[in-house]
Amino acid sequence: MKLAEKIKKKKIRSAVIGLGYVGLPLVTELAEAGVEVVGIDLDKRKVDSINNKKSYIQDVPTERLKGLVSRGMISATTCYSALRNVDTVNICVPTPLRKTKEPDISYIVKSAEQIAKYIRKGQLIILESTTYPGTTDEVLLPMFEAKGLKVGKDFYLAFSPERVDPGNPIYNTKNIPRVVGGITPACTEAAVALYGLAIDNVFPVSSTRVAESVKLLENTFRSVNIGLVNELALMCDKMNIDVWEVIDAAKTKPFGFMAFYPGPGLGGHCIPIDPFYLAWKARLFGFEARFIELAGQINRAMPEYVVSRVSDALNEKGKSVKGSKILVLGVAYKKDVSDCRESPAFEIMQFLNAKGAQVSYYDPYVAKAEGNGVKMKRTKLTRQTLKKNDCVVLVTAHSNFNYEFIVKNAKLIFDTRDAVKVKNSKVVKL
Ligand SMILES: NC(=O)c1ccc[n+]([C@@H]2O[C@H](COP(=O)([O-])OP(=O)(O)OC[C@H]3O[C@@H](n4cnc5c(N)ncnc54)[C@H](O)[C@@H]3O)[C@@H](O)[C@H]2O)c1
């Protein structure tokens, strides 16, 4: 039986490598669709947690995981030999940037080396990690073909970008359309069949390179537009115009405009990183991706800009940053999640510390903040905490913050998100 047919009949077993924000939701969707899945991760704590029926990912409630693990639909292991017994393998490992802003695909390569050890005829391998165009056909394909297997005939290889937005209450792994590109049409067909089991809409494209570029376009689009509004915020401040009001009014136009908002800097695993995967690859072809570099420069300067505005706001009150007590509200990279990767809050805290401020923080989702030379435990958000601080810097606007309470008790608030909708002399907006 053709692999695509076997998949459609659910006569398969699957593996997912990398059980983080991307991998675990995928494991759950496939298992719920009726496919037995083994998750593979080098992190034993994650593996143990799954086997003990406990979720560590906000988007996968423990209740949901529990039933699937109990019924034997999901298991987890640190051992790659589990690949011997599966028909499909999805790779969901990290793809960070090196300090030099060059792609670090070592996690992909390490997992592919293990796959190559166990690869056998009839298997489908899909890379989901965000990466530069060419990774699947230039890096992975030769590693598997070196085993004497022919792609599209003996095994199948495809790329499908994960587009999940952790914490999003509406869009999730199941209802975000999937783009899929295979090395050969048979590869695309098999990958479309697999996602078709668990995901509402699947959109095939002509190659792995197109599929790889799709994700990079999406995140570059966001990075560039955020760069544009961040620059607008800087301009508006000079001209004493409320940038937030400008954007709110512009977005009443029903076509040709999409609202993006300024902020304290980019965070998370995607937008600050992915555009540089594209820029790096383009550079190998002698092409400088100017929009990407410029947006990156503007966005990366935002944490320092926030600190300079906080300093101005304190100055207005006759205070210097040095010696002031400053409370940072929200350190996760976006609202209503606990993920702190690349969060600008850490850079802001580091700059404030360096200027001699006494910095503390509160985030309902983050008990300990660690990053950028900052290591501290959260304080309590009480009336006394607010009253004793000279300035509150709102970095991440979690939905459960009580702004009335904060405004009532704080001496000064610097709001980087236009979340404090109170007009008050104590509130200064980005
Ligand atoms: N988090 C997001 O919002 C998001 C959204 C879309 C795409 N992505 C992309 O998806 C990929 C995964 O991101 P994530 O957020 O799930 O990362 P993550 O750090 O949450 O999870 C990755 C997991 O892979 C494991 N791992 C690392 N090397 C491994 C190896 N050799 N073998 C087995 N397991 C290994 C890690 O222990 C970790 O548990 C990245 O390329 C990322 O850019 C992430």
70-118 pLDDT per residue, tens: 999 999 999 999 999 999 999 999 999 998 889 999 999 999 999 999 9
Q: What SS3 state is found at 408?
A: helix
User: Quick one: pLDDT at residue 261?
Assistant: 98
- Enter the tokens of residue 48: 């143990």
| Alpha-carbon dihedral angle through residues 151, 156, 157, 161, given to the nearest 10 degrees | 160
Active site residue 340: no
The Cα 348–Cα 61 span in angstroms is 32
Look at residue 196 and tell me whether its pLDDT is greater than 90.
yes
User: Quick one: pLDDT at residue 371?
Assistant: 84
User: Quick one: pLDDT at residue 373?
Assistant: 85
The Cα 413–Cα 421 span in angstroms is 12
Average pLDDT over residues 296-306: 97
Q: Which of 187, 236, 270, 391 is catalytic?
A: 270
Cβ neighbours of 187 (radius 10 Å): 26
Is-contact 107 93, C-beta < 8 A?
yes
Confidence of residue 278 (pLDDT cuts 50, 70, 90): very high
Which residue has the least CA distance to atom 7 on ligand 1? Answer: 162
Confidence of residue 123 (pLDDT cuts 50, 70, 90): very high
Average pLDDT over residues 362-386: 94
Query: Ligand 1 site: residues with CB under 6 angstroms?
Result: 17-23, 40-43, 46, 92-95, 107, 110-111, 129-130, 162-164, 166, 269-270
Ligand 1 atom with least separation from CA of 131: 41
Amino acid at 263: G
Ligand 1 centroid–CA 112 distance in Å is: 14
pTM, full prediction: 0.94
Confidence of residue 429 (pLDDT cuts 50, 70, 90): very high
User: Quick one: pLDDT at residue 101?
Assistant: 85
